[in-house]
């Protein structure tokens, strides 16, 4: 192998290493969203179903109102609020913090639910 | 093909109308009468709610009345949408007229009150009214309804009104 060939070979090696690093980097960036799950909470007969939901940070929760009456899904601490959901409406939220998040329907405060986020 | 589809559509509409049409007199109220009674019952509670919002300063009463406005309007809108889909019109009847007369009498009583006396009377009436309507729905109107979609709608309405009844129980305690 002459000097020129060695240089080209070295450049190829660097290029391969660079590409590999880029792919690993991308994979690391994509990993959380690839693992994130979606969950559905049905609002039916004035109850959140399931009433308690175990999820992970990064997961998406979608509330779907099956009742005739309008409802909301609203964090007790006021950090998020679906607003009024008419029958058939749905609303989604990506959960970004761990812990127990209690929520309720502001129109019918006896309706309560909880997200247990790990 | 189009003609066949039209004929099939017309036949379906005829079936829907037949399901919602008058039954023999000895079988109790027909679907169109039940629809009228249920819609009237909703309108009556909407009127009570408007009165409460006009008269009361009590936060619990106002919140309850606001919920009644939202929910009863939604139920009545859903009932009208179903009737429109079935190309049917609600049928006035003696029960609806009796409900309206009783409600007019009760409104006259409530209008004469103010302050805590009004709040307590409104709460008591809401509890009693929802208990009465829920019993009638569960024991008479839902069993008597023929059309499956209409029966399901009444079932959803009952779930709504039962939640109102529980809410009214709390309101009665809070306005004592």
Residue B24 has pLDDT above 50, yes or no: no
For the stretch B32-64, pLDDT in tens is 999 999 999 999 999 999 999 999 999 999 999
Question: For the ranges A53-62, B18-27, B103-112, B115-124, which has the lowest average pLDDT?
Answer: B18-27
Which residues of chain A make contact with B75, given a CB cutoff of 8 A? 68-69
What is the pLDDT at residue B14?
A: 41
What is the pLDDT at residue A11?
A: 53
Q: How many residues does chain B have?
A: 176
CATH number for B31-174 (one of 1.20.1260.10, 3.40.50.1000, 1.10.3470.10, 1.10.357.10): it is 1.20.1260.10
Give the closest residue to A112 by CA, choosing from A41, A40, A37, A39. A41
- How close B71 gets to chain A, by Cα (Å)? 5
What is the pLDDT at residue A35?
A: 81
The 10 Å Cβ neighbour count of residue A28 is 9
**Given an 8 Å threshold on Cβ–Cβ distance, is B163 in contact with A108?**
yes
Q: Which of A44, A68, A105, A109 to mutate to test the interface with B (most CBs of B within 10 A)?
A: A68
**DSSP string over chain B:** -HHHHHHHHHHHHHHHHHHHS---GGG---HHHHHHHHHHHHHHHHHHHHHHHHH---HHHHHHHHHHHHHHHHHHHHHHHHHHHTT------HHHHHHHHHHHHHHHHHHT--HHHHHHHHHHHHHHHHHHHHHHIIIIIHHH--SHHHHHHHHHHHHHHHHHHHHHHHHHHHT-
What number is the average pLDDT over the span B126-150?
Answer: 97
Which residues of chain A make contact with B156, given a CB cutoff of 8 A? 67-68
Instruction: Find out whether B168 and B120 touch, Cβ atoms under 8 Å.
Output: no
Rg (CA), chain B: 19
Long-range CB pairs of A75-79 (<8 Å, 24+ gap) are A75/A101, A75/A102, A75/A103, A76/A102, A76/A103, A76/A104, A77/A101, A77/A102
3-state secondary structure of A23: helix
Residues 6-65 of chain B with CB under 8 A from chain A are: none
Question: Which member of B67, B74, B162 has the closest CB to residue A68?
Answer: B74
- How close A100 gets to chain B, by Cα (Å)? 26
Residues 71-100 of chain B with CB under 8 A from chain A are: 71, 74-75, 78
CATH number for the domain running over A38-117 = 2.60.40.420
Q: Which residues of chain A are modeled with pLDDT < 70?
A: 1-34
B145 reaches A (C-beta below 8 A) = no
Give the closest residue to B156 by CA, choosing from A53, A68, A74. A68
Element (H, E) at A28: helix A3-35
For the stretch A40-72, pLDDT in tens is 999 999 999 999 999 999 999 999 999 999 999
Provide the greatest CA pair distance for chain B. 68
Those residues whose C-beta lies under 8 Å from the C-beta of residue A40, and which sit 6 or more positions away, are A61, A62, A63, A64
Distance CA A52, CA B119 (A): 36
A87 reaches B (C-beta below 8 A) = yes
For the stretch B59-112, pLDDT in tens is 999 999 999 999 999 999 999 999 999 999 999 999 999 999 999 999 999 999
What is the pLDDT at residue B17?
A: 42
- How close A79 gets to chain B, by Cα (Å)? 22
Instruction: Name the residue in chain A with its Cα closest to that of B159.
Output: A45
Instruction: Find out whether B103 and B110 touch, Cβ atoms under 8 Å.
Output: no
**Given an 8 Å threshold on Cβ–Cβ distance, is B70 in contact with A110?**
no
- How close B156 gets to chain A, by Cα (Å)? 7
CA angle B20, B24, B29 (to 5 degrees): 60
Residue B4 has pLDDT above 50, yes or no: no
Distance CA B10, CA A82 (A): 42
A39 reaches B (C-beta below 8 A) = no
């Amino acid at each position: 192998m002459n000097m020129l060939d060695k240089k080209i070979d070295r450049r190829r090696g660097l290029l391969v290493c660079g590409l590999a690093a880029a792919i690993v980097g991308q994979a690391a960036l994509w990993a959380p969203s690839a693992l994130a799950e979606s969950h559905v909470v049905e609002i039916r007969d004035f109850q959140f179903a399931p009433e308690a939901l175990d999820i992970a940070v990064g997961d998406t929760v979608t509330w779907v109102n099956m009742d005739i009456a309008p409802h909301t899904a609203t964090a007790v601490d006021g950090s998020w609020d679906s607003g009024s959901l008419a029958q058939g409406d749905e609303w989604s939220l990506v959960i970004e913090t761990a812990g127990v998040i209690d929520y309720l329907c502001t129109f019918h405060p006896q309706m309560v639910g909880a997200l247990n986020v790990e | 093909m189009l003609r066949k589809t039209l004929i099939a559509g017309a036949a379906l509409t005829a079936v829907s109308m037949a399901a919602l049409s008058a039954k023999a007199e000895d079988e109790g109220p027909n679907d169109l009468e039940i629809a009228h009674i249920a819609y009237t019952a909703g309108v009556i509670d909407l009127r009570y709610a408007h009165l409460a919002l006009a008269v009361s300063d009590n936060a619990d009463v106002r919140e309850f009345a606001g919920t009644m406005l939202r929910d009863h309007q939604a139920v009545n809108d859903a009932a009208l949408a179903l009737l429109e889909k079935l190309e049917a019109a609600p049928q006035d009847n003696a029960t609806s007229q009796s409900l309206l007369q009783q409600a007019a009498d009760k409104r006259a009583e409530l209008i004469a009150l103010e302050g805590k006396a009004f709040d307590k009377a409104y709460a008591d009436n809401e509890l009693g009214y929802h208990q009465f309507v829920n019993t009638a729905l569960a024991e008479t109107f839902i069993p008597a309804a023929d059309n499956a979609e209409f029966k399901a709608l009444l079932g959803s309405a009952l779930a709504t009104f039962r939640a109102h009844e529980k809410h009214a129980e709390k309101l009665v305690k809070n306005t004592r």
